[in-house]
Structure 1
Amino acid sequence: MPCLNDILNEINALNVTQPNAVDVVRKAKIKKLNEYTERNVICYYSGWLSVEGKPVPNLSIDDMDKNGFMNTIEGLDCSLGLDLILHTPGGSITAAESLVYYLRAKFGKDIRVIVPQMAMSAGTMIACSAKEIIMGHQSCIGPFDPFVKGVSAFAVFEEFKRATEEIQTHPHTLPLWQVMIQKYPPAFLEECEKAIELATSIVPKWLSSSMLSDQEPADQDANIKSIMENLNNPGQTKEHSRHIHADKAISLGLNVVMMESDQNLQDLVLSLHHAYMATFLNTNTAKIIESHHDRSLILKYA
């Protein structure tokens, strides 16, 4: 299996004759994966890891992504199903919800999500909508407790709850809490409540209608409860960026297939992943949405 250095060397060797070698190598890797699986392949990749800490736009899941998926799906035989290669820090819950609706409208429930490295937050929600998640030992998903304007919705609720309790027992703390609560805009608590309700409502529906649809009702309910209590609960996960690896994801009740169970698939997926990482390392690319039939939306930054 080629490692990142091997892919970089392959690109450097091609650069002598082809200035767009990163694109040539990456597209060849996508095509090889498609030829092996005989399924449609769409890659959704964010370059957030290579620009961490910099103010780069277009790194997160947003409504612009729909245009990328519409572009890549044009011309595909949707009856062949979809393998969605997902590498993202997350983003908008409503954008993720709309993407899942669109992908299901095109491919039905024959969607596999492959996580070569990281599919966090709203990316994990998208993964939960698939019939199965393919992960390797290096892969991780993450909690999807919602954030509103960059703030944990659950944390806001906890802060308001604590303020109420302390003011009741220690009235002299009222001026301090007034200052602290004023940092939130009007109706912010209501926004947070609606975000929590949305995340809590859509993921169970996706799980029950696809990934867990073949389970007995009692088993399905137990698994959904386990998944929600562990992935939509900062009291359990402690940190929104917590990495949930394959063994933990399986124990929660998610249908995870280990990448290592098919060595050829693992080699093809990770070679493709390294090709994307090489693209982000060598170019000013923020996001790529790309299919095996040479359609792509590539967003760059200055």
Structure 2
Amino acid sequence: MSILGRVGGLVALELKAYRQKREPRSLERPLPQGGAKMALEEDGVSSNRFIEKELDKKLSTLGKRFDSDILVLIAPMRPPIDELVRDSVEGVENRKDSLTVMLETEGGSIEVVERIADVFRYHYSKEINFIIPNYAMSAGTILAMSGDNILMDYFSVLGPIDPQVRRPSMGDRFVPALGYLAKYDELIKKSASGKLTAAEIAFLVEKFDPAELHQFEQARELSVELLKRWLVQYKFKNWEKTRTTCKVVTQKMKEDRASKIARLLNDTKKWKSHGRGLSKEVLDKELNLIIEDFGADLELRACVRAYYRLLQDFMARVRQSIVVHAPGRYLGL
């Protein structure tokens, strides 16, 4: 079966809830009939093509600002989005050696994130930038940190790391791994102290399968491993002196900083909520992670917002929740 066929089947089922959250709600109107209906449909197709061309123009302008190829990715990190990204990147003609990615995602599978990052690095050897106009949560945060530079403004947020794992016992639903591990650890500690109630014992037996717990632990370990490796290899590659003391930065200092960031982002107690957004200011103060402020460059901010607003309006108009867009190649689902 073709990739698009898989999208029409697998993704349509998995992402139903994701799409419903983004779709506008309005009263239904009676449709015109006959020739009037056909004319209306033709006008709609024509106007959609016009908007896609406008999106191409705005995106190309943004790419020129970075002197790089540019790609927009708005999607949950679940199969087969990695294949769609691969196809889009492979379709770029006259490829440059740098890539800028505008990213928006609620997160998803850490394995999918790893494959997408590998696609980017295979085709772009010099530099990869991530622009976050709104949010990139959980596994999306890890993908953003695979870049050489992350650009946000005061409104943008990343999120705590809590990779989602497919759970067969719940009908193959994706569930947050760290949330389940945290609850399991809590119940085990209560059990060790003899404070576990009968209801909690029944819950522990019914809800926690050893094989699934192992899968959750593997997802957590992989997310930490990737985050540490990518930060040291890419984000910290030009970090030569500390900001406050101007001390020369060693390889060990980079590794220690990456480990600390990974540990903090995995701390579910610190952030309280899986869906909590971490602003540029919080990332700087709490994680000591330098983020570029695209809002400080008024022209760049205008370019980012002009494209993003038009894209959001268009996605609502055509009822899309997933977009992979490179100039001349728009895929919306």
* TM superposition score normalised by structure 1: 0.82
Q: What one-letter code is carried by the residue in structure 2 that aligns with 1:283?
A: V
> Aligned residue for 1:160?
184
**CA displacement, residues 73-105 of structure 1 (integer Å, 9 cap, x when unaligned):** 223344341010001111111000111011101
Unaligned runs of 5+ in 2: 1-42, 168-173, 240-248
Q: Give the drift of 1:16.
A: 9.1
Residue 185 to residue 104, structure 1, CA distance change in 2 (3 Å): same
Distance, in Å, in 1 between the alignment partners of 2:305 and 2:196 is: 59
Q: What one-letter code is carried by the residue in structure 1 that aligns with 2:113?
A: A
Q: Give the drift of 1:190.
A: 0.9
> Aligned residue for 1:40?
69
**Aligned to 1:111, what secondary structure does the other structure show?**
strand
What RMSD over aligned residues (CA atoms) do the two structures have, in Å?
2.3
Distance, in Å, in 1 between the alignment partners of 2:124 and 2:301 is: 24
Distance, in Å, in 1 between the alignment partners of 2:198 and 2:211 is: 20
> Aligned residue for 2:324?
289
**Aligned to 1:286, what secondary structure does the other structure show?**
coil
Distance, in Å, in 1 between the alignment partners of 2:268 and 2:138 is: 12
Distance, in Å, in 2 between the alignment partners of 1:201 and 1:29 is: 36
**Which 10-residue stretch deviates more, 129-138 or 216-225?**
216-225
The answer to whether residue 172 in structure 2 is matched with residue 138 in structure 1 is no
Residue 181 to residue 77, structure 1, CA distance change in 2 (3 Å): farther
> Aligned residue for 1:240?
274
**CA displacement, residues 139-160 of structure 1 (integer Å, 9 cap, x when unaligned):** 1111112233444333333333
Q: Give the drift of 1:121.
A: 1.1
Give yes or no for contact 2:139–2:161 (8 Å, CA) kept in 1: yes
Distance, in Å, in 1 between the alignment partners of 2:280 and 2:101 is: 17
> Aligned residue for 1:7?
none
Give yes or no for contact 2:190–2:196 (8 Å, CA) kept in 1: no
Give yes or no for contact 1:84–1:112 (8 Å, CA) kept in 2: yes
How do 1:1-302 residues align onto structure 2 when only pairs under 5 Å count? Answer: 18-20=46-48, 21-46=50-75, 60-73=76-89, 74-148=91-165, 149=167, 150-170=174-194, 173=197, 176-185=200-209, 187-215=211-239, 216=249, 217-251=251-285, 252-292=287-327, 294-299=328-333
**CA displacement, residues 231-251 of structure 1 (integer Å, 9 cap, x when unaligned):** 121121111111111112223
Distance, in Å, in 2 between the alignment partners of 1:170 and 1:75 is: 61
Distance, in Å, in 2 between the alignment partners of 1:171 and 1:258 is: 49
**CA displacement, residues 7-55 of structure 1 (integer Å, 9 cap, x when unaligned):** xxxxxxxx79942143232222112212333311101124xxxxxxxxx
Unaligned runs of 5+ in 1: 1-14, 47-59
Distance, in Å, in 2 between the alignment partners of 1:290 and 1:172 is: 52
Q: Give the drift of 1:206.
A: 0.6
Give yes or no for contact 1:118–1:139 (8 Å, CA) kept in 2: yes
Distance, in Å, in 2 between the alignment partners of 1:146 and 1:249 is: 19
Distance, in Å, in 2 between the alignment partners of 1:172 and 1:101 is: 45
Distance, in Å, in 2 between the alignment partners of 1:166 and 1:234 is: 18
**Aligned to 1:182, what secondary structure does the other structure show?**
helix
Give yes or no for contact 2:86–2:116 (8 Å, CA) kept in 1: no
Residue 77 to residue 111, structure 1, CA distance change in 2 (3 Å): farther
Q: What one-letter code is carried by the residue in structure 2 that aligns with 1:245?
A: S
> Aligned residue for 1:54?
none
Q: Give the drift of 1:65.
A: 1.8
**CA displacement, residues 221-262 of structure 1 (integer Å, 9 cap, x when unaligned):** 342133213212112111111111111222323331101232
Distance, in Å, in 2 between the alignment partners of 1:87 and 1:17 is: 26
Higher RCO (C-alpha under 8 Å, 6+ residues apart): 1
**Which 10-residue stretch deviates more, 269-278 or 230-239?**
230-239
Runs of 4+ in 1 over 6 A off after TM superposition: none
Q: Give the drift of 1:112.
A: 0.3
- Report sequence identity in percent: 22
**CA displacement, residues 193-245 of structure 1 (integer Å, 9 cap, x when unaligned):** 11111111111001111011233224313421332132121121111111111
* TM superposition score normalised by structure 2: 0.74
Give yes or no for contact 2:135–2:156 (8 Å, CA) kept in 1: yes
